[in-house]
Amino acid sequence: MANTLIIVGGQFGDEGKGKIVDFLAEKADMIVRYSGGNNAGHTVVSGGETFKLHIIPSGIIRKNKVNIIGNGTVVNPDVLVDEMENLEKMGLTVNEKNLILSSAAHVISERHIMDDSSSASSKMIGTTGRGIGPCYCDKVVRTGTRIGDFVKGKSGTAVSLRPFVKDTYSIINDAIDAGKHVLFEGAQGTLLDVDHGTYPFVTSSNSIAGGALIGSGVGPTKIREVCGVFKAYSTRVGGGPFPTELGNESMTKEEDSVDMLRKELSAEGFERLLRKTVIKANEGDAYTQGRLLRMQGYEYGTTTSRPRRTGWFDGVAARYAARVNGMTCAAITKLDVLRNLDKIKICVAYLINGKQTGNFLLGAEELSKAVPVYEEMSGWKEDISKARKADDLPAAAKNYLGRLQQVIGVPIGIISVGAGREETIPLGNMLW
């Protein structure tokens, strides 16, 4: 049975990796965050409480786990300290025994944030403005500051972080060699990888499984399993091509969030709006179908609160993600969000200039011209969040999952039917 497992996003990020990491962390001894910075948010719901994490690994929610922020990350020290303090206010213990920060991770400075906020390319792409890209730029041109040097300073933040900072590569490798269960937590998704994503509409680091090796100092022969996390539909934040998008980016930007609607409307008014949205979605209006997914899936960014663009499941992109990550299994999240739809679509190919292809396109310009070829399947009306085994799901949901497994090309090991830890269905081919 495997003792090393990489969790990677199979789409444009926001797939629910935090929840899957939290679920699998029950049997893990160590959780390693290997890339990105506080531009990536993971939400974990446990014991009725919602924890929003930005740079600290999701394993911090569980007791007696070692959580490592790896060398491949970029860290805003003030944000990290604030996140640590907020978690302690929520009753969690955060100390140098359960949280370790790599001395080789790079520091996000105020200048990086200012550069990110004023950059024309950042505005075009729709970055979070957290200084991530400029920090990685300094790292690559060898002018950056590493955490190990930062904590030699005398600032209050440096002093606070100093006990947490170590050379983490040896800690991780020693754990693996000792047979400990080590879980590598990805940030963002495959299609945002700086090399293998929809460039230039990507993040600034390698978010694919290969990035876990570089971002933690572990060799490829030590990795046993790679689990790709996919939503049962697709979402994207910011600019960039999105072949299966329902509606368009400008329409989504103008939309009020669910929280705003609930403030403006009474409970009865909100439910009435939701019913109208369901009716119009089932009449075939694409934008309304996307809006229904946003409303039912609460599709608003953990870090930015921006409404996410939504679309049908893109099987072409999913097969591509499975290949470049070497996935051995998949986790399907937010299956419950597809309720109330009479018909559900899966993209199985693209039309490019009238010719059909099953291959994903790396060029953003070419991908923006791709016309999805859909298969249509029956939907379901039931609330499936109470399902605790696959047999509890309606036939239409089981059929949909079966087709997703065929399209992705790897076995499905986990199904998520809600935000809570208990709303998770492990299948026979568990990872460890």
Active site members: 14, 42
108 φψ region: left (φ > 0), alpha (ψ -120 to 50), beta (else)? beta
Block residue for tokens 């009435």: 272
Q: How many CA atoms, within 13 angstroms, populate the side-chain half-sphere of residue 210?
A: 13
Question: Residues 6 or more apart from 141 whose CB is under 8 A from it?
Answer: none
Number of other residues whose CB lies within 10 A of the CB of residue 348 = 19
Please enumerate in sequence order all residues whose Cβ is within 8 A of that of 285, keeping only pairs 6 or more positions apart, or say none: none
- The Cα-based distances of 237 to 116, 189, 252, 400, 406 in angstroms read 17, 11, 10, 25, 27
Question: Are 375 and 403 within 8 A, CB to CB?
Answer: yes
- Give the whole-angstrom CA distance, residue 171 versus residue 167: 8
265's tokens? 């409307």
The C-alpha atoms of residue 51 and residue 43 are separated, in whole angstroms, by 6
Cα separation of 290 and 273, whole Å? 15
Strands of 322-403 (E only): list them.
Answer: 329-333, 343-352, 355-357, 371-378
> Residue 16 has which token pair?
């629910």
Nearest to 370 by CA among 300, 315, 294: 315
Q: Is 403 exposed, middle or buried (0-12, 13-18, 19+ CB in 10 A)?
A: middle
Which region, left, alpha or beta, applies to residue 13 given φ > 0 means left and ψ of -120 to 50 means alpha? left
Kindly report the backbone phi and psi dihedral angles of residue 373, in degrees, each rounded to the nearest multiple of 5, phi listed first: -100, 120
